[in-house]
């Protein structure tokens, strides 16, 4: 579908208008397959995240600092640090620490799995796959949205090293 619009100065340009997908589009089979794929990816990543040990060297100091003082005091202190500004990181650590009831590993890893699940659902809602072409792009876009941006470079580096 071609549309014409005029821009300042009287010049006209042609614009290709893509089919708009309504916000409340009904779920078809490609959407269902994409969400099933997303659930499979979340399950697989969740298994890896739950099996990954927490580094004591990095996390112990944060847990000790987050457990001392009040929630408001901890967050307000982080606005005055000179090293880096991450007050919401400390709010997150304190919130999960308080909810965990001493089961830190399960709660922190569960929180990470939950974050990944929310990210996957948001990505699929943003893309809204309605056709085969849309659904075929999901395996390409989902690793990018989860932070695996260096996968191509790693693959190319490994491939070059095995050829020689």
Instruction: Domain ranges for the chain, please list them.
Output: 27-147
Helix, strand, or coil (residue 158): helix
Angle at 8 between CA 6 and CA 10, to 5 degrees: 60
Mean pLDDT computed over 128-157: 70
Asked if pLDDT for residue 2 goes beyond 70, the answer is no
- Please name which of 44, 99, 104 lies closest in space to residue 71, comparing C-alpha atoms: 99
Return left, alpha or beta for 10; rule: phi > 0 is left, psi -120 to 50 is alpha, else beta.
left
What pLDDT, in 10s, does the model give residues 97-111?
Answer: 888 888 888 888 888
Enumerate the H helices of 22-150 as residue ranges. 29-51, 56-67, 71-78, 87-100, 104-127, 132-136, 138-145
Residues linked to residue 14 through DSSP beta bridges, in sequence order: 4
The partner residues of 5 in beta bridges, in order of sequence, read 13
Question: What's the mean pLDDT when you consider all of the chain?
Answer: 75
Q: 56-67 and 87-100 helices cross at what angle (nearest 10)?
A: 80
Using alpha carbons, select from 147, 148, 143, 120 the residue that is nearest to residue 39.
120
Confidence band, pLDDT 50/70/90 cuts, at residue 55: confident
Least confident of 23-27, 64-68, 92-96: 23-27
Cα distance between residue 116 and residue 37, in whole Å? 14
pTM: 0.66
């Amino acid at each position: 579908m071609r549309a014409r619009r005029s821009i300042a100065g009287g010049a006209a340009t042609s614009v290709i208008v893509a089919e708009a997908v309504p916000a409340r589009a009904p779920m078809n089979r490609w959407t269902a397959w994409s969400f099933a794929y997303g659930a499979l990816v979340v399950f697989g990543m969740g298994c890896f995240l739950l099996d990954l040990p927490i580094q004591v060297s990095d996390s112990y100091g944060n847990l000790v600092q987050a457990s001392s003082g009040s929630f408001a005091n901890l967050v307000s202190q982080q606005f005055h640090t000179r090293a880096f500004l991450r007050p919401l990181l400390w709010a997150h650590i304190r919130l999960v620490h308080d909810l965990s009831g001493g089961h830190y590993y399960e709660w922190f890893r569960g929180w990470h799995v939950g974050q990944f699940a929310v990210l996957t659902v948001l990505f699929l809602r943003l893309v809204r796959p309605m056709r085969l072409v849309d659904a075929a792009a999901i395996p390409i876009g989902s690793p990018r949205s989860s932070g695996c941006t260096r996968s191509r470079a790693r693959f190319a580096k490994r491939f070059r090293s095995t050829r020689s």
